[in-house]
Protein backbone atom coordinates (compact mmCIF):
# COMPACT_ATOMS: atom_id res chain seq x y z
CA UNK A 1 0.00 0.00 0.00
CA UNK A 2 1.44 3.43 -0.86
CA UNK A 3 1.76 6.20 1.70
CA UNK A 4 -1.16 8.23 0.30
CA UNK A 5 -3.55 5.29 0.56
CA UNK A 6 -2.15 4.32 3.96
CA UNK A 7 -2.51 7.85 5.30
CA UNK A 8 -6.02 8.18 3.81
CA UNK A 9 -7.04 5.03 5.69
CA UNK A 10 -5.73 6.52 8.97
CA UNK A 11 -7.53 9.82 8.26
CA UNK A 12 -10.76 7.91 7.62
CA UNK A 13 -10.38 6.01 10.88
CA UNK A 14 -9.81 9.26 12.82
CA UNK A 15 -13.42 10.23 12.00
CA UNK A 16 -14.49 7.68 14.57
CA UNK A 17 -12.13 8.95 17.29
CA UNK A 18 -12.76 11.57 19.99
CA UNK A 19 -11.17 15.01 19.40
CA UNK A 20 -8.82 14.78 22.37
CA UNK A 21 -7.34 11.52 21.07
CA UNK A 22 -5.46 12.90 18.05
CA UNK A 23 -4.51 15.98 16.03
CA UNK A 24 -6.59 14.89 13.02
CA UNK A 25 -9.62 14.05 15.13
CA UNK A 26 -9.34 17.48 16.78
CA UNK A 27 -9.18 19.18 13.34
CA UNK A 28 -12.34 17.34 12.23
CA UNK A 29 -14.05 18.46 15.43
CA UNK A 30 -13.09 22.09 14.75
CA UNK A 31 -14.67 21.78 11.30
CA UNK A 32 -14.12 22.86 7.72
CA UNK A 33 -12.98 26.43 8.46
CA UNK A 34 -10.22 25.18 10.78
CA UNK A 35 -8.98 22.78 8.10
CA UNK A 36 -9.06 25.52 5.45
CA UNK A 37 -7.20 27.86 7.79
CA UNK A 38 -4.43 25.28 8.19
CA UNK A 39 -4.21 24.87 4.41
CA UNK A 40 -3.90 28.64 4.02
CA UNK A 41 -1.18 28.79 6.67
CA UNK A 42 0.76 25.90 5.20
CA UNK A 43 0.49 27.36 1.68
CA UNK A 44 1.89 30.65 2.98
CA UNK A 45 4.69 28.83 4.82
CA UNK A 46 5.49 26.97 1.60
CA UNK A 47 5.77 30.24 -0.29
CA UNK A 48 8.07 31.69 2.40
CA UNK A 49 10.23 28.54 2.38
CA UNK A 50 10.56 28.71 -1.39
CA UNK A 51 11.54 32.38 -1.17
CA UNK A 52 14.20 31.42 1.40
CA UNK A 53 15.40 28.77 -1.06
CA UNK A 54 16.23 26.15 1.58
CA UNK A 55 15.40 22.75 0.01
CA UNK A 56 14.70 20.92 3.32
CA UNK A 57 12.33 23.68 4.43
CA UNK A 58 10.45 23.55 1.12
CA UNK A 59 9.99 19.78 1.46
CA UNK A 60 8.90 20.13 5.10
CA UNK A 61 6.32 22.83 4.38
CA UNK A 62 5.00 21.08 1.28
CA UNK A 63 4.55 17.90 3.33
CA UNK A 64 2.50 19.96 5.82
CA UNK A 65 0.45 21.38 2.94
CA UNK A 66 -0.13 18.00 1.30
CA UNK A 67 -1.02 16.46 4.66
CA UNK A 68 -3.63 19.12 5.42
CA UNK A 69 -4.95 18.80 1.85
CA UNK A 70 -5.43 15.09 2.52
CA UNK A 71 -7.32 15.96 5.71
CA UNK A 72 -9.56 18.25 3.63
CA UNK A 73 -10.19 15.48 1.08
CA UNK A 74 -11.14 13.04 3.82
CA UNK A 75 -13.35 15.62 5.53
CA UNK A 76 -15.18 16.13 2.21
CA UNK A 77 -15.62 12.39 1.65
CA UNK A 78 -13.10 12.38 -1.19
CA UNK A 79 -10.09 10.14 -1.77
CA UNK A 80 -6.54 10.93 -2.93
CA UNK A 81 -7.03 8.52 -5.86
CA UNK A 82 -9.59 10.96 -7.26
CA UNK A 83 -6.96 13.71 -7.41
CA UNK A 84 -4.41 11.26 -8.84
CA UNK A 85 -6.95 10.20 -11.48
CA UNK A 86 -7.49 13.85 -12.41
CA UNK A 87 -3.73 14.35 -12.77
CA UNK A 88 -3.56 11.21 -14.92
CA UNK A 89 -6.39 12.51 -17.08
CA UNK A 90 -4.44 15.74 -17.61
CA UNK A 91 -1.12 13.99 -18.17
CA UNK A 92 0.46 14.89 -21.48
CA UNK A 93 -1.93 17.73 -22.21
CA UNK A 94 -0.05 20.97 -22.43
CA UNK A 95 -1.24 23.61 -19.98
CA UNK A 96 -1.13 26.19 -22.76
CA UNK A 97 -3.32 24.02 -25.03
CA UNK A 98 -5.75 23.37 -22.17
CA UNK A 99 -5.99 27.09 -21.42
CA UNK A 100 -6.51 27.99 -25.10
CA UNK A 101 -9.32 25.39 -25.37
CA UNK A 102 -10.87 26.72 -22.18
CA UNK A 103 -10.95 30.35 -23.31
CA UNK A 104 -12.57 29.33 -26.64
CA UNK A 105 -15.24 27.36 -24.78
CA UNK A 106 -15.85 30.23 -22.35
CA UNK A 107 -16.00 33.09 -24.89
CA UNK A 108 -19.55 34.18 -25.72
CA UNK A 109 -20.95 33.33 -29.18
CA UNK A 110 -20.47 35.92 -31.90
CA UNK A 111 -22.97 38.75 -31.46
CA UNK A 112 -25.81 39.12 -34.00
CA UNK A 113 -24.75 41.22 -37.00
CA UNK A 114 -25.57 44.87 -36.37
CA UNK A 115 -28.66 46.29 -38.09
CA UNK A 116 -27.97 48.38 -41.17
CA UNK A 117 -26.77 51.78 -40.07
CA UNK A 118 -29.01 54.78 -40.83
CA UNK A 119 -28.42 56.11 -44.35
CA UNK A 120 -25.74 58.73 -44.37
CA UNK A 121 -27.43 60.78 -47.13
CA UNK A 122 -29.98 62.41 -44.86
CA UNK A 123 -32.84 61.39 -47.29
CA UNK A 124 -34.86 59.76 -44.48
CA UNK A 125 -34.01 62.21 -41.78
CA UNK A 126 -37.43 63.86 -41.93
CA UNK A 127 -38.37 67.49 -42.26
CA UNK A 128 -35.73 69.96 -41.34
N1 LIG B 1 1.52 13.70 8.47
C2 LIG B 1 1.06 14.16 9.50
C3 LIG B 1 1.30 15.51 9.90
N4 LIG B 1 2.00 16.51 9.32
C5 LIG B 1 1.87 17.58 10.13
N6 LIG B 1 1.11 17.27 11.20
C7 LIG B 1 0.72 18.13 12.32
O8 LIG B 1 0.13 19.30 11.85
C9 LIG B 1 0.13 20.24 12.92
C10 LIG B 1 0.20 21.64 12.36
O11 LIG B 1 1.47 21.96 12.02
P12 LIG B 1 2.10 23.39 12.35
O13 LIG B 1 3.45 23.39 11.76
O14 LIG B 1 1.17 24.45 11.87
O15 LIG B 1 2.21 23.36 13.94
P16 LIG B 1 1.40 24.14 15.04
O17 LIG B 1 1.58 25.59 14.85
O18 LIG B 1 1.85 23.52 16.33
O19 LIG B 1 -0.14 23.73 14.74
P20 LIG B 1 -1.49 24.43 15.25
O21 LIG B 1 -1.35 24.69 16.72
O22 LIG B 1 -1.71 25.66 14.40
O23 LIG B 1 -2.56 23.40 14.96
C24 LIG B 1 1.26 19.84 13.85
O25 LIG B 1 0.70 19.42 15.07
C26 LIG B 1 1.90 18.67 13.13
O27 LIG B 1 2.38 17.67 13.99
C28 LIG B 1 0.73 16.00 11.10
N29 LIG B 1 -0.04 15.21 11.88
C30 LIG B 1 -0.29 13.94 11.51
N31 LIG B 1 0.23 13.39 10.35
C32 LIG B 1 -0.13 12.02 9.94
O33 LIG B 1 -1.46 11.76 10.34
C34 LIG B 1 -1.50 10.57 11.15
C35 LIG B 1 -2.60 10.73 12.19
O36 LIG B 1 -2.27 11.79 13.07
P37 LIG B 1 -3.03 11.94 14.48
O38 LIG B 1 -4.45 12.09 14.17
O39 LIG B 1 -2.44 13.15 15.14
O40 LIG B 1 -2.73 10.69 15.23
C41 LIG B 1 -0.09 10.46 11.75
O42 LIG B 1 0.22 9.14 12.06
C43 LIG B 1 0.75 10.96 10.60
O44 LIG B 1 0.95 9.91 9.67
Residue 100's alpha-carbon distances to 88, 95, 104, in angstroms, are 20, 9, 6
Q: Which domains, and CATH codes, for the chain?
A: 3-89 (1.10.287.1080)
How confident is the model at residue 1, as a pLDDT?
A: 60
How confident is the model at residue 111, as a pLDDT?
A: 60
| Structure-model confidence comparison of residues 63 and 93, the more confident one | 63
CA distance 87 to 90: 5
How confident is the model at residue 45, as a pLDDT?
A: 98
44-79 per-position pLDDT tens digit: 999 999 999 999 999 999 999 999 999 999 999 999
- Ligand 1 atom with least separation from CA of 25: 38
Lowest mean pLDDT among 21-25, 60-64, 82-86, 103-107: 103-107
How many H helices and E strands in the chain? 6, 0
Residues with CB under 6 A from ligand 1: 7, 10, 14, 22-25, 41, 64, 67
**Helix, strand, coil content of the chain in percent (nearest 5):** 70, 0, 30
Q: Percent of the chain having pLDDT more than 90? A: 71
Lowest mean pLDDT among 6-10, 14-18, 28-32, 114-118: 114-118
CA distance 99 to 88: 17
The protein residue whose alpha carbon is closest to atom 1 in ligand 1 is: 67
Compute the average pLDDT of residues 81-100: 92
Amino acid sequence: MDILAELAAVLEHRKTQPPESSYVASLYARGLDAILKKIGEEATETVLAAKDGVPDKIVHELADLWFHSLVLLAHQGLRPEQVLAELERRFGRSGLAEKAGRSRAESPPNPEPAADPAPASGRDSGPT
